[in-house]
Amino acid sequence: MSAQVTITNLPAAGSLTGSEIVPIVQNGQTVRTTTSAIGLSGGVTSVATGTGLTGGPITTTGTISIANTAVTAGSYTLANITVNAQGQITAASNGSVAGGVTTLSGGATGLTPATATAGAVTLAGTLNVANGGTGQTTSGAAFNALSPVTSTGDLIVGNGANSATRLGIGTNGYVLTVSGGTAVWAASAGGGGVTTFSGGTTGLTPSSATSGAIALAGTLAVANGGTGVTASSGANSVALRDANNNITANAYFNGFTSVAASGTLITLTVASTPVYLISGSGGQIIKLPDATTLPLGTIFSFNNNQSSGAITVNNNSSTLVVSVPSGGYTTVVLIANGTAAGTWDRHDQSPSNVSWSTNTFDYPGSITSATWNGVIVATNRGGTGTAYGVTGGTF
């Protein structure tokens, strides 16, 4: 080119053949190419506008617009509209409910409108069985409403997938069994049941048959938790009270404890033996049980067999009840058990060196405290037979 010319001042080109040479910038430098290489030939030469559109045809530049319809822009309620073949709304207006629900009834379903029968409607009531409900408002009543049971003793059995039917109560003595793939009542064939019955070593035996309906008789043995007797039968039998709550036996042997005297306190409990013998010497202190744990009439006996020394018996509060001297034998009886100390009644028996009979009394010791009753001792009893005393050596 002989001079610089602005591109916009160049004359317009005609139709391109594809062989025209044009400059382009590639990788930072200006190079040449042809119009066919960059796709500038054989392209769209004109754009026309169809139905409802304006602005065409466009051969170079231009604007395509959609034509306005007669519809006013805005919002419509329950709109009535008209749409043309191009999908345009050509007419629109507000609508109204026509032919809608005016009233509502639950019919035979059991359901009724809780409030209005028009507008916003809320249903209430109980759906009937015929309409897929139970017709009831509690689970028990609902089950009974759907149950096929009609009589006492009926059973519900399946008779297919998701299906049930009623099986009436069977005949007395019949058993539930299977026949033809379903449950039925039938007479017992006896197979698999108890064929014979024995009481073994229990002492019980069948009173009648050993099969079928069996009734037991006999007396349950001690080894099986019974008494083995229906009445006391003597030695080695279970003791039974008579009609007056009494038990009779040859002898009852109380527990017995023998200990040597020591300086250690012996404390008795409700589980202690009731008879104690103390040997040795030096004395022994024994504390009685808590009286509130004992029944009235409880008896403890203390035999002092020491060569010297007393048995000191205290109540549960450590208060003296009795001091049993050497050779003595004392019994204490609980007569009140409202407190731990209780009230104990003591009774002394004669020591081993005393003996008496109908007409004699022998005691080799000394009487340290006694009151004479004033009766004259007869001559045949070792006395003088007179009440006179001795004066100056003369009766």
Mean pLDDT to the nearest integer, 262-280: 95
- Domains observed in the chain: 155-187 (no CATH), 202-251 (no CATH), 256-355 (2.60.120)
Summarised one tens digit per residue, pLDDT across range 296-309 is 999 999 999 999 99
Which position has the higher pLDDT, 126 or 195?
126
**Average pLDDT of the chain to the nearest whole number:** 81
pLDDT value for 45: 66
pLDDT value for 3: 61
Summarised one tens digit per residue, pLDDT across range 344-382 is 999 998 877 788 888 777 877 777 777 777 677 777 766
Summarised one tens digit per residue, pLDDT across range 136-182 is 888 888 888 878 888 888 888 887 777 788 888 888 878 888 888 88
Q: Is the pTM of this model over 0.85?
A: no
Residue 1 pLDDT class (50, 70, 90 cuts)? very low
pLDDT of residue 310 exceeding 60: yes
Which position has the higher pLDDT, 388 or 50?
50
Least reliable range by pLDDT among 17-21, 83-87, 213-217, 260-264? 213-217
Residue 221 pLDDT class (50, 70, 90 cuts)? confident
- HSE-up of 394 (CA within 13 Å, CB side)? 1
